[in-house]
Structure 1
């Protein structure tokens, strides 16, 4: 500070506690600097109010140093997952980025904070045979939904937010325009998630069949609840997806594994990595490779794209048919 006074560059920082600044930041960052999704805003507020304010509340934001933040991160890493800590650190970095930008601090203390390493989770996928069992054991209102998730690789929120107007029957694609999250429509995960997913004649026919019996909903949703209301993902998983897995005698996997399974099948079918990236809605090829790179090493197939991809699924024969009828037909054929 003495050197700054001598050179005439000293500037008094505004007095502002961490809590006072976060109040300002939440208001102005959301309103002026980014069009945040509702889910992101809720997450930010929860992290700030439940965790960061209790930790740094009355401390002057200009007095918070790298070691304070590193101590917070290290402590949290002993209590919650590395991914959760990284989410919290993302919010911390944004707060101090704007504190520096707006002249509340002289340097950014987050630049020296180390993030906890995230171990790569094992990718769980369902085989075509397993998908067939899942769909056959699912309740009728959800059979086409589970099949569509598998054959398109759509994220859960994108699937439940899909409207009939998003399907181009002639050009054979699904236009992902929105996601449904906790009863609220919002933009997809990123600009790259707004995309057109190519679909096959087989899936088109199944969707047309489903449309004939689909519950009428206010928003013309492709997959509303059986009562015609918005589908709540957590309820679908708990009440319909997990029970279908158990009835099918399958291991417990997440709903997101349907997306992983789609990526796996695309790779095994020899689809181009750039095409896979755009179909899945990843921000870059590197994201696709980070998640699924190991699968490319095992891929030994080189087939055409959407139509031939589906031919590798036994389930596409007619996974929505009555399984009892299927068994009777097998018996009749000897």
Structure 2
């Protein structure tokens, strides 16, 4: 019958000359388990939660006794990240997203806890990592990294390298909702007035379609149905760096953000007219792109757009033109389901969460309208003295 024990260790108690194995309330305390498998003695740190250590030792001893115990090979976090990126992430996510994953892990994880064995990393170390990061990065950035770490450790557990994820009880930070900005009609006209002629149609298309920047850049002439006044979103144009030292990069076509982003957008008469004129004046390109520079290359979001996009009244992001389009649809009373389809949101809940606060209040007089529908006439209620 296998036997084991739970051991408490505390760095603070040890520094103060106290018995580090005795009970204490220090946040630095951790619990470990000790047991034997055959002639081999195994000692494993679990974390700051004693109940968690009790659960692990109970499960481990049960597996040792019934012959189902399996001791996973030790692997460092850096080595497992390589394995996870190669076997899980690379086949499933877009190249641009994979590039961002690698950068974030290299900058914030590999250099701090990447050298440690997976089985040795504790919840306390993950919390310390996040507490340091929140001092220099936004809550959203920290949450994105934590989500990635949770996924990495989930697969480490699923593939048998660890039993419990050290990220399991690490909470995300509260993210304050950013104030959504959009241009009013008079601001749109002023912005278009100050745009160079070659760039004006690009901005107009953004305002009147709500397309994302990459979707606009990847738009081809064959995506426009001139008879039905419809623009079809089929792809996105992205850039990848060949060398960040000299800024050399190349462009490529990618699928839109999600499968719901493949959509048909209604084209207004004014936009149709502008695009017809733009088609006559713009260079013909092998890729059949609508928006190109004078050399026939796609517009560069890190150069041309940032330089040319100078709103006349105040500073807004280019992405705020997407919000502007949405606000225009809401202002003219379009159905929220139609707005969802035009934006390419996966669910109507996404649309409501982002734009519900600017929807008009339509519940005034609902009681009176209900009475009229049921009873056929509006009831006039007068005060009377009995």
Specify the TM-score bucket, using the shorter chain as the normaliser: 0.7 to 0.9
Equivalent position SS for 2:186: helix
**Mean alpha-carbon deviation: is it higher for 78-87 or for 197-206?**
197-206
Determine if contact 2:208/2:268 at 8 Å carries over to the other structure: no
**C-alpha distance in structure 2 between counterparts of 1:114 and 1:225, whole Å:** 47
- TM-score, scaled to structure 1: 0.83
CA distance in 1, matches of 2:214, 2:270: 23
**Aligned-pair distance for 1:201?**
2.5
- Residue matched to 1:241: 309
SS in 2 for 1:112: coil
Q: What is aligned with 1:317?
A: none
Q: 1:253 aligns with which of 316, 325, 346?
A: 316
Larger Rg, first or second structure (1 or 2): 2
Q: Which of 282, 289, 295 is equivalent to 2:358?
A: 295
Q: How far apart, in 2, do the equivalents of 1:178 and 1:258 lie?
A: 19
Partner of 1:21: 80
1:39 aligns with 2:96: yes
Shift of 1:172: 1.6
Q: Distance in 2 between matches of 1:272 and 1:31?
A: 39
Residue number in structure 2 paired with 1:129: 186
Partner residue of 1:193? Answer: 261
Q: Any idea what the Cα deviations from partners look like across 1:191-223, whole Å, max 9, x if unmatched?
A: 111111111223212211110101222311111
Match of 1:270 in 2: 333
Q: How does 1:1-334 map to 2 (within 5 A)?
A: 1-32=60-91, 34=92, 36-182=93-239, 183-242=251-310, 245=311, 248=312, 250-297=313-360
Which structure carries more helix by proportion? 1
> In structure 2, what is the Cα distance between the partners aligned to 1:161 and 1:203?
18
Comparing 233-242 with 154-163, greater Cα deviation is found at 233-242
Deviations 1:101-132 (A, max 9, x none): 21111123322111111111111111111111
Q: Greater CA deviation, 212-221 or 132-141?
A: 212-221
RMSD, matched Cα: 1.7
Cα offsets for 1:81-103 (capped at 9, x unmatched): 11111221222122112111211
Q: How far did 1:31 drift?
A: 4.5
For residues 76 and 103 of structure 1, what CA distance do their matches in structure 2 show?
29
User: What is the CA–CA distance in structure 2 between the aligned matches of 1:14 and 1:92, rounded to whole Å?
Assistant: 20
196-205 or 120-129, larger mean C-alpha shift: 196-205
Q: Which sections of structure 1, spanning at least 5 residues, go unmatched? A: 301-334
Partners in 1 of 2:268 and 2:362 — Cα distance? 22
Offset of 1:17 from its aligned partner?
Answer: 0.6
Assess if the C-alpha contact under 8 Å between 1:178 and 1:188 holds in 2.
yes
Which structure ranks higher in relative contact order (CA pairs < 8 Å, sequence separation ≥ 6)?
Answer: 1
User: Does the 8 A contact of 1:25 with 1:95 survive in 2?
Assistant: yes
Change (3 A) 1:121 1:206: same
TM-score when scaled to structure 2?
0.73
Structure 1 ranges of 4+ moved more than 4 A: none
Structure 2 gaps, min length 5? 1-59, 240-250, 364-386
- DSSP-derived class of the 1:175 partner: strand
Residue deviations 1:49-95, cap 9 Å, x none?
22211121221112223232222122211110111112212221221
